[in-house]
Amino acid sequence: MRRCLWGFLFIAFALAWSIAAEHNPRTERISGSAGDVLEDDPVGRLKVYVYELPSKYNKKILQKDPRCLSHMFAAEIFMHRFLLSSPVRTLNPEEADWFYTPIYATCDLTPNGLPLPFKSPRMLRSAIQLISSSWPHWNRTEGADHFFVVPHDFGACFHYQEEKAIERGILPILQRATLVQTFGQRNHVCLYDGSITIPPYAPPQKMQAHQIPPDTPRSIFVYFRGLFYDVNNDPEGGYYARGARAAVWENFKNNPLFDISTEHPTTYYEDMQRAIFCLCPLGWAPWSPRLVEAVVFGCIPVIIADDIVLPFADAIPWEEIGVFVAEEDVPKLDTILTSIPPEVILRKQRLLANPSMKRAMLFPQPAQPGDAFHQILNGLARKLPHQKSIYLKPGEKMLNWTAGPVGDLKPW
């Protein structure tokens, strides 16, 4: 009886959706200030000086493991390449608004492709010691006009488990710098005011290759592929995703409206384009690449991550394009999603169909106007002009170079 009821609800919903779709435009521009911010052009509004570091901090690391080019933390590599040819780059440091230190801190992968963050603090300390002794600009502000791309799970806390990341904290000598990072969670020691939250890297060319005709019916109601339990790192099963993913599986593994599995089929991208809702639950960190994939493929993201800080939140109206479900409400997901009126779903789909929304979530090569590279630059431009207070008085020091875990102080 329960299965029949769900089937009836789904058929009724699909019928209402298809009828409404015939009378609505396919795309909709973001209204208000968010739309203006999304379409900002940072060129002419800021200048960035790129430090020339020895290749051991970047290129040689990549040569050792080219997998870093397709990893979800690859933004650090592509941001470096983008800035080298960007019109915002200046070769005159005296006219620079921002200084960028190109370090590939997350390009250290296990044979299975998982990032090992443990060398990252030492690498960053080494690079900052180099720029502070070779150029005068760091010492004028102790990094307050510098930015670093640190796209690890917990940003510059550099650990893949939350409690360990909290213990370590952000590297002390980065306390005045701006961090460009994928990690975003309110009131967390690994994210502080002034950070720029960005999307994880998802390969644009690969996603483009799996595009299907836009008029393909969305015949899947709810879609998810991924882990529900991390038995290797959380054997007792109570910590990973704070139990939210486990709750999805236990409550909906037999629900015909939910197409969920741990298997990752070759049709994964195509399936997302056939789905109305795509679950985007937290894992070890609040975000995952599914958020990018959902937006690019027009699948309404169902964000299950309490206190998440979303990428480019001043430009992308997440409340309008997504559905937010509290972690404790996961057992009610079916009721929540089937209760959303068709006209609300249609508007979210029209907003998601806006090409500027998709561009803002991607790091394409070559770069395109309005893409994630430009959204980062827009974020930096909106932090200008720097306040006079960032410049230190002669002899003044604010950062403690010897603070932090003993292991982080070892030479790199």
What would the DSSP string read from start to end of 195-230? Answer: -EE-PPP--HHHHHHT---TT----EEEEEES-S--
Same-domain status, 242 and 264: yes
Q: How many whole angstroms separate alpha carbon 75 and alpha carbon 149?
A: 8
Query: Structural domain of residue 128, as residue ranges?
Result: 48-201+374-385
Q: Is residue 54 part of a domain?
A: yes
pLDDT (0 to 100) of residue 288: 87
Q: Is residue 339 part of a domain?
A: yes
Crossing angle of helices 75-84 and 372-381, in 10° steps, is: 70
**pLDDT in 10s for each residue of the chain, 412 residues:** 444 455 445 544 554 444 344 444 466 655 544 455 677 788 888 999 999 999 999 999 999 999 999 999 999 999 999 999 999 999 999 999 999 999 999 999 988 888 888 899 999 999 999 999 999 999 999 999 999 999 998 999 998 888 889 999 999 999 999 999 999 999 999 999 899 999 999 999 999 999 999 889 999 999 999 999 988 878 776 788 899 999 999 999 999 999 999 999 999 999 999 999 999 999 988 988 999 999 999 999 999 999 999 999 988 999 999 999 999 999 999 999 999 999 999 999 999 999 999 999 999 999 999 999 999 999 999 999 999 999 999 989 999 999 988 888 999 9
Helix (H, G, I), strand (E, B) or coil at 248: helix
Q: Is residue 319 part of a domain?
A: yes
Same-domain status, 101 and 230: no
Q: Is residue 259 part of a domain?
A: yes
Q: How many whole angstroms separate alpha carbon 86 and alpha carbon 128?
A: 23
In the chain, the amino acid numbered 84 is: L
Same-domain status, 79 and 219: no
In the chain, the amino acid numbered 226 is: G
Q: Is residue 11 part of a domain?
A: no
Same-domain status, 53 and 170: yes
In the chain, the amino acid numbered 151 is: P
pLDDT (0 to 100) of residue 301: 98
Structural domains in the chain (count): 2
pLDDT (0 to 100) of residue 325: 98
Q: Is residue 68 part of a domain?
A: yes
In the sheet with 48-50, reading across from the earlier edge strand, the strands are 48-50, 98-100, 146-149, 178-181, 196-197
CA distances, 34 to each of 31, 117, 319, 356 (Å): 7, 34, 12, 12
pLDDT (0 to 100) of residue 261: 97
Same-domain status, 232 and 193: no
Same-domain status, 266 and 189: no
CB 408 within 8 A of CB 125: yes
Q: Is residue 351 part of a domain?
A: yes
Same-domain status, 58 and 186: yes
State pTM to two decimals. Answer: 0.90
Same-domain status, 123 and 270: no
Same-domain status, 287 and 303: yes
Tokens 């639950």 correspond to what residue?
Answer: 281
